[in-house]
Copies of this chain bind each other. A is one copy, B any other.
Amino acid sequence: MIQVAVMGYGVVGSGVVEVLTQHTDSIAKRAKETINIKYILDIREFPDSPFVDKFTKNFDDIVNDEEVRVVAEVMGGVHPAYEFTKQCLLKGKSVVTSNKELVATKGAELLEIARQNNANYLFEASVGGGIPIIRPMSQCLAANEVIEVAGILNGTTNFILTKMIRENMSFDDALKMAQRLGYAERNPAADVEGHDACRKICILASLAYGKHVYPEYVHTAGITNMTLEDVAYAASWGGVIKLIGQVKRLEDGKLDITVEPMLIARDSQLASVDDVFNGILVRGDATGDVVFYGKGAGKLPTASAVVADIIDCVKHLKARKYLYWNDGGEEIVKPYAETSYPIYMRVSSTLDKQTVIEKVASLFRNSRSIVRTNAPENEFAFVTDSMVVNRQEEAIAALEQDKIHVLSKIRIADL
């Protein structure tokens, strides 16, 4: 029998306890050991819980108990999750987590500590909830060079965008609905401003390219400025707007990594990923495009991914799993201003249509007008060829000088 501890009894933590206690037999069969929860760490009281005798408020109970071999850290946040994880790993206990913030900010250090102490640090649940992605990427795609990873990594924003696209709901109304349904938190900033998606693409990038990519070096834009006008133009162009986290290695070896709304063509596999679902595309040099799709959050999907990692740790108590990346710095990331991509752009101007089209054409190569029904007379929209971000900004400044006001600018994805 293997003793484990669960740190944090929130949504995911209670799900982990539920899955472990309700599937005990089938899990024992797969792990080849019975798994028993010895401790549940939480600062709150749960007097009515059937697991009341397992609760502790004292982390030392867990870290000093040599019987505990695997710890599930499902507390969220960096502190004290970081300190607790570190101490467990230093004692040779394996740690599994759903804590994307911790993995994205301290992953390289914790993986190194795990390595030195012959323990495992696994985090399948940190990206894509119940969708298997970390393990397939590190194992099944082992014989591939990863050309690109791109994904719809945040269910809350995808739900909001889906409501805007399908039901013509405004951003504010869609956000309120997401909050009412429990898909968005009272303070939705981490989701709608793209930070959650940023942590996830950082984890996937670190895994794919072997060096830690820290969130602070990643250009991150959310969906708070999305309008129904842009949604309508996207449709007339033949696509949809999605919040995409994307990373690819450029020819100079640096990473083009970003989180931002993008226009994606309707026939892309990611275009049909709607509502709270996530979809992650991994483009390998040998496999071509592989897409993983499913619910990216939720109590049981996430908990089942945490439990799968616990099982894997139990099966590998002596051997280490090969899941590792080195530390990385700002130098591995291409500055956003130097990256280039095609854009969609919506402008307003009191100038006549032909003049606007000509001025835009003089600044943006191969710009093409797109239209929507019921557009005001002074509104125009364009899609243009690929251009370096710096140059885009200069051209936009020049347009403003010419009394053409740029209302929105959205990257066009190559997915």
Contact = CB atoms under 8 A, between A and B. Distances in A.
A70 interface: no
Contacts of A26: 145
A34 to B, nearest CB: 14
Interface stretch (A296-304, A332-340, A357-365): A296-304
A27 B144 CA distance: 9
Given A27-B142, A269-B272, A291-B291, 7 more contacts: A131-B287, A135-B140, A136-B140, A139-B308, A288-B301, A289-B295, A293-B293
18 contacts: A30-B142, A132-B132, A132-B139, A135-B140, A139-B312, A142-B307, A142-B311, A142-B312, A143-B311, A269-B293, A286-B300, A286-B303, A287-B295, A290-B292, A291-B292, A292-B292, A315-B322, A316-B319
B136 A19 contact: no
A12 B218 CA distance: 39
A139 B307 CA distance: 10
Nearest to A140: B132
A124 interface: yes
A163 to B, nearest CB: 16
Which residue, A295, A304, A305, A311, has most C-beta atoms of chain B within 10 A? A304
A141 interface: yes
A23 interface: yes
A322 B32 contact: yes
A221 B87 CA distance: 58
Interface in A256-281: 269, 272
B294 A293 contact: no
Contacts of A290: 130-132, 292-294
B301 A143 contact: no
A293 B277 CA distance: 15
Contacts of A305: 140, 143, 287
A312 B305 CA distance: 21
A129 B287 CA distance: 8
A284 interface: yes
A352 to B, nearest CB: 41
A308 B140 contact: yes
Given A23-B145, A135-B139, A308-B139, A289 B294 contact: yes
